Amino acid sequence: MSTGLERPARRSRWWVGAVLLVALVWVFGAGPLGAFLGKLGEVQTNDPAAFLPDDSESTEVDRLAEDFDRADSVPAIVVFSGEDELTETRSAELGTLAERIGERPWVANQVVGPVPGTEDPSVAQLIVPIDNTYDTGDSVDELRSLLADEAVDGLDAEVTGPAGYAADLVAAFGGIDSTLLIVAVVAVLIILIAVYRSPLLPILVIVASLLALGLSGALVYLAADTGLVSLNGQSQGILFILVVGACTDYALLLVARYREELATREHAPAAILASIRGVAGPVLASGGTVILGLLCLLAADLNSTSSLGPVVAIGIVAAMLSAMTFLPAALALCGRAAFWPAAPHHTRHEEGQSTDRVLQQHPFWGRIARTVAGRPRAFWLGTTALLLLAAVFAPQFTAEGTGQAEVFRTEVEAVNGQETLERGFGSESNAAPAQIIANAEYVDEIVEAAEDTSGVDGAEPVTEPGPPGVQAPILEENGRVLIEADLVAAPETTEATDTIRDLRENLREVQGADALVGGVSATDLDTLETAQRDFLVVVPLVLIVVFLVLIPLLRSLVAPLLLMAVNVLSFATALGVGTLVFDHVLDLPGADPVVPLFAFVFLVALGIDYSIFLMARAREETLVHGHREGLLRALTVTGGVITSAGVVLAATFAALVVIPLLFLLQLAFLVAFGVLVDALLVRSLLIPALSLDVGPRLWWPGRAARVAAPGPVTASTDGADTASPDKGSVDPENSTGSGTVERGEKTGGLTAFKEARDERED
């Protein structure tokens, strides 16, 4: 016959077994999945043309150009340079080298050259067509190795051209698997050690983030491999950063609540269950908001933009799962030892604490709350003016794209080779003619219209292959012809895209020709126009989705409107400061067209997390203590965790600068700076001050708008509160303050209820 003493022992063994099973499933299930992180490069697509929608004009031209044998290879240009003029002997050696290169299986057609420089006779070039069926990066790497092994004395060899740039772009993303992850994890680890002052707890949080990253990597690899999503290097880097940052943020909330519960409960199982109940609402709300905001990117036409949404949404789901399952299991197994050497002790707290007592328990944030409450209108007006001062520069942000050479922030061979090529052959070495495909019977009219376009140097139809010097007939495929138009402006410039725009307009006037314009500059133009369209479509969609999520969460219409307005202002501030830094401090050449959209989505979707943490607690406290007291308590008890979460997320995004690409450098600065403004300024001063000034109407039409403020609170000389008991104590500085509102709304016997519950759980 079992005794009552045996039942707690059996429950304890059952609990240990359950949490141990959860931890082991994660470690031995998601842990090995981390191998897929190294395989994500196999399913990447980094070709800018592939970023465009299938129905874009330049994409259709690329598809039709395959019929003219103009899209079956990618040219790699090998540039040779020396100190003296190229001799016949060296030309012969280069010819022999060209023959050996032509024997490689990845060479599509005959190698052209050597061609001596027209401007500098010490420069020569070979044109190597690389077969599209082979991996361009691997082929260029093999070509560079061959040139190093069979170097021509006195000549330096560099590989550039479209294939060279593609290979160097892939190499730039190669740091994602190792360097980026190491830098992000180390940065987060340092911050966590400073926050927790514990050697074990930061390790548990980092392990939770890495397990989430392994799970998300496997899921993204599967989705990309099966064609469900399109993955590129930019998306992969952002995925790594967001998973680590988001999982750490959710972990901060859970750990803060766990420390609070350990101070009021004797046993870790009861404390961890109460912690999960307390933070599940805010974590699900904030994570769900981020996921829905990111999925709004599916409305974008640019493939690189629309594919980012589901890729990163998968990562956020994995982060939430790890933070709410593995981490609680690990914390339960460690118990109070997780906080060593500053483990919280079990003490019976009084259930009733005045706002003054809560503010005293958090000296720093208590002083901020009192200061803001003293002059709320002055604080929100002053903070808004400061943000507007920076936001006025946001319209000057230039995001019209850059040239290939300007994408790289470090020295790469393709860029150096292009400079050598221009030295030897002049500006025509960088020519990239526009490709025009039209109905064959209108070839003369198309050529005439193209040559009449300002900025077009000449236009000629592509002819059938034949011996040199013989007039070959025009190549015709399926009743269409291909015409190449030389542009005066260099490709990837504003002048070139303007010429393409004018050229398309002129060709539309040739009725019946069905002319389409493609090529490098046309791709740039389509990318720019599509990105601008995506911004106008996705931004309102994100705002609407986030607003609709906030309404049921806060049971209010006024509060969500104010929060959305503040979020937009915060984004404009970050963009304005970015304009000043990029143009006048870093002297950057411009920005990728998708930078403003990505920055907006991340700052609004992620920034709203901190609004949820603050305002959800404020509503909960308002229902018990009234509007003013509720806001002061919410600001005080959530200030530490919001600040820590903001610093962690900013640090992880800042880690993107280790990838030497202009796009990621700019995105890292905008998001990191914007998150810090959000966490340190907006959530600490602007929103609390504005909410206090608006008053209880903030919660209209919800019930919180009708809660009467409690009577004045006084404190006795011995420090004991004389006010009536409130809904519960808040002990740790980093408390999330989240909990079930319904329980806090109940009155009568709340202290006895909690004590009875504690006895049952103990």
CB 62 within 8 A of CB 522: no
The Cα–Cα gap between 577 and 672 comes to 12
| Rounded mean pLDDT, 558-576 | 92
Question: Whose CA is closest to 269, among 3, 2, 4, 14?
Answer: 14
According to DSSP, the residues that pair with 487 across neighbouring strands are: 456
Q: Is 494 left (phi over 0), alpha (psi -120 to 50) or beta?
A: alpha
Which CATH number goes with the domain that contains 141? 3.30.70.1430
Range ranked top by mean pLDDT from 41-55, 366-380, 480-494, 632-646? 366-380
Give the tens place of pLDDT for each residue, 213-251: 999 989 998 888 888 888 877 788 888 888 988 898 888
Q: Is residue 748 part of a domain?
A: no
State the DSSP code for 80. Answer: E
| Residue 127, phi then psi, degrees to nearest 5 | -110, 115
Q: Is residue 52 part of a domain?
A: no
Domain membership of residue 145 as a residue range: 72-173
The 3-state secondary structure of 24-49 reads HHHHHHHCHHHHHHHHHHHHECCCHH
Which CATH number goes with the domain that contains 442? 3.30.70.1320
Residue that wins the pLDDT comparison between 648 and 729: 648
Q: Is residue 38 part of a domain?
A: no
What percentage of the chain exceeds 70 in pLDDT? Answer: 84
Measured at the alpha carbon of residue 456, what is the angle toward residues 451 and 460, in degrees to the nearest 5?
A: 55
Q: Cβ–Cβ contacts within 10 Å for residue 387, how many?
A: 21
The 3-state secondary structure of 646-699 reads HHHHHHHHHHHHHCCEHHHHHHHHHHHHHHHHHHHHHHHHHHHHHHHHHHHHHH
Question: What pLDDT score does 731 carry?
Answer: 36
| Rounded mean pLDDT, 130-138 | 81
Task: Take residue 169 and report the two structure tokens written for it.
Answer: 């772009």
Q: How confident is the model at residue 606 (pLDDT cuts 50, 70, 90)?
A: confident
Is residue 352 predicted with pLDDT exceeding 60? no
Task: Take residue 595 and report the two structure tokens written for it.
Answer: 């930078």
| Rounded mean pLDDT, 65-76 | 71
Q: Is residue 368 part of a domain?
A: no
Across 497-570, where does the E strand assignment appear? 516-518
Say how many Å lie between the first and final Cα of the chain, rounded. 23
C-alpha distances in Å from residue 79, one per residue of 93, 124, 127, 136, 292: 14, 6, 9, 18, 49
Is residue 715 predicted with pLDDT exceeding 60? no
Q: How confident is the model at residue 6 (pLDDT cuts 50, 70, 90)?
A: very low
Question: What pLDDT score does 688 carry?
Answer: 92
The Cα–Cα gap between 426 and 699 comes to 67
Is residue 709 predicted with pLDDT exceeding 60? no
Task: Take residue 42 and report the two structure tokens written for it.
Answer: 């196999």
Question: What pLDDT score does 572 carry?
Answer: 94
Could you tell me if 545 and 636 lie in one domain? yes
Question: What pLDDT score does 345 carry?
Answer: 62
| Rounded mean pLDDT, 335-342 | 78
Could you tell me if 286 and 251 lie in one domain? yes
The Cα–Cα gap between 627 and 453 comes to 67
Q: Is residue 365 part of a domain?
A: no
Q: What is the domain count for the chain?
A: 3
Could you tell me if 147 and 218 lie in one domain? no
C-alpha distances in Å from residue 317, one per residue of 242, 246, 277, 586, 715: 11, 10, 18, 36, 46
Question: What pLDDT score does 409 carry?
Answer: 80
State the DSSP code for 54. Answer: T
Measured at the alpha carbon of residue 366, what is the angle toward residues 250 and 707, in degrees to the nearest 5?
A: 80
Give the tens place of pLDDT for each residue, 377-422: 999 999 999 999 999 999 999 887 777 777 888 888 888 888 888 8
Q: Is residue 237 part of a domain?
A: yes
Is residue 655 predicted with pLDDT exceeding 70? yes
Q: How confident is the model at residue 320 (pLDDT cuts 50, 70, 90)?
A: very high
Task: Take residue 368 and report the two structure tokens written for it.
Answer: 């901020």
Is residue 69 predicted with pLDDT exceeding 70? no
Could you tell me if 286 and 380 lie in one domain? yes
Q: Is residue 187 part of a domain?
A: yes
The Cα–Cα gap between 234 and 40 comes to 12
State the DSSP code for 299. Answer: G
Is residue 13 predicted with pLDDT exceeding 70? no
Question: Whose CA is closest to 738, among 369, 253, 195?
Answer: 253
Question: What pLDDT score does 176 carry?
Answer: 64
Write down the pTM of the prediction.
Answer: 0.81
The Cα–Cα gap between 762 and 758 comes to 6
- Choose one of 146, 173, 200: the last residue of a domain: 173
Question: What pLDDT score does 125 carry?
Answer: 87
Residue that wins the pLDDT comparison between 727 and 12: 12
Could you tell me if 318 and 221 lie in one domain? yes
Question: What pLDDT score does 749 carry?
Answer: 37
Question: What pLDDT score does 379 carry?
Answer: 92
Could you tell me if 685 and 563 lie in one domain? yes
Question: Whose CA is closest to 207, among 371, 353, 30, 74?
Answer: 30
Q: How confident is the model at residue 303 (pLDDT cuts 50, 70, 90)?
A: confident
Is residue 348 predicted with pLDDT exceeding 80? no
Name the strand (E) or helix (H) holding 78: strand 73-81
Could you tell me if 229 and 333 lie in one domain? yes
Could you tell me if 380 and 263 lie in one domain? yes
Question: What pLDDT score does 430 carry?
Answer: 59
Burial of 561 (0-12, 13-18, 19+ CB in 10 A): middle
CB 172 within 8 A of CB 233: yes
State the DSSP code for 326. Answer: I
Q: How confident is the model at residue 576 (pLDDT cuts 50, 70, 90)?
A: very high
Q: For tokens 């009219």, what's the residue? A: 445
- Choose one of 455, 486, 518: the last residue of a domain: 518
Could you tell me if 589 and 603 lie in one domain? yes
According to DSSP, the residues that pair with 484 across neighbouring strands are: 435, 460
Could you tell me if 530 and 382 lie in one domain? yes
- Choose one of 145, 173, 201: the last residue of a domain: 173
Question: What pLDDT score does 640 carry?
Answer: 84
Q: Is residue 42 part of a domain?
A: no
Q: Cβ–Cβ contacts within 10 Å for residue 163, how many?
A: 24
Question: What pLDDT score does 389 carry?
Answer: 94
Is residue 714 predicted with pLDDT exceeding 50? no
Q: Which of 555-559, 600-604, 753-757 is the least confident region?
A: 753-757
Could you tell me if 587 and 487 lie in one domain? no
| Rounded mean pLDDT, 653-668 | 86
According to DSSP, the residues that pair with 44 across neighbouring strands are: 231
Give the tens place of pLDDT for each residue, 143-195: 888 888 887 877 888 888 888 888 888 777 766 667 777 888 888 888 888 87
Question: What pLDDT score does 315 carry?
Answer: 92
Could you tell me if 329 and 462 lie in one domain? no
